[in-house]
Amino acid sequence: MLRDRSDGVFNAWFELVSIGAPAVEPLIAVLLTDERLDRHNSGTALRPEMFNAAAALRMIGAPALEPLLPLLQDTQVAVRNNVTWILEGIGDRRATDALIAALLHDDDPEVRQGAAQALGKIGDRRAVDALIFALQNDEPASGYACLALGKIGDRRAVDALIFALQNNDDCALYACLALGNIGDPRAVDVLIAVLQGSNSMLSCRAALALGQISDTRALDALIAALHTGEILSKRRNAATALGMIGDERAVAPLIVALEDPDWWLRHEATAALRKLGTPEALIALKRHEK
């Protein structure tokens, strides 16, 4: 979305997008202008025309790819950071090698973070080793590397993500998200331990990750989480996860949850019972609809 929405300016930028490839070089020229930064701000904010040029290039897509790649070597951080954002939007695998180089070698943490985000969006498995390295060695980019690995979904990352979940407080939540997305059963035991732990935010997300993995080893822990504790969000997520796993042993505990004072928990229990779809579940739902 372009920042300046006054009709004339917006239409001018939109017209450049509609032109396509012939507009790429003029738009890149805007990115490379010497007036890179808004001097009225802290010295780091982009001028509106730079933002609009970047957004237009992102919308033009693949025709802008080849001219943009050399700009990952530009001396200005603002330019390199813009380019990672544009390449994320384009999502073309031809940018993978250049983004890996930026992730591993750029001296600015925001550029490395942007490179990790772009690699996650692109989804090329060639980036997995570099992202694991960033997860283990680049603290400013480690959380972004976790999320990217989760989006790519390659199981080579599971051991590194489990280690991060257990040992790196700064990116544990991101590691939890990634492990759920990857869905590898090797993560079940550690996620059960997190579910039962004292970190409320992390335990809530572990419940959903266990649902995504859908291993019945998590059933007892999720049923316990459904009915115990004061953290409503964990109980709600446990209900959701039980529906995702789909084991009939969860029907009776979910029916009990239909009587809970918390309407959101009742809603999640209802949705889970509909997914399970057993005669007992359907009878209970019909009874509660009256």
Give residue-wise pLDDT tens across range 163-218: 999 999 999 999 999 999 999 999 999 999 999 998 999 999 999 999 999 999 99
| pLDDT at 34 (0 to 100) | 52
Instruction: Check pLDDT > 90 for residue 144.
Output: yes
Q: Which CATH class is domain 187-290?
A: mainly alpha
The three-state DSSP-derived secondary structure of the chain is CCCCCCHHHHHHHHHHHHHCHHHHHHHHHHHCCCCCECCCCCCCCECHHHHHHHHHHHHHCHHHHHHHHHHHHCCCHHHHHHHHHHHHHHCCHHHHHHHHHHHHHCCCHHHHHHHHHHHHHHCCHHHHHHHHHHHHHCHHHHHHHHHHHHHHCCHHHHHHHHHHHHHCCCCHHHHHHHHHHHCCHHHHHHHHHHHCCCCHHHHHHHHHHHHHHCCHHHHHHHHHHHHCCCCHHHHHHHHHHHHHHCCHHHHHHHHHHCCCCCHHHHHHHHHHHHHHCCHHHHHHHHHHHC
pLDDT the model gives residue 174? 97
pLDDT(9) > 70: no
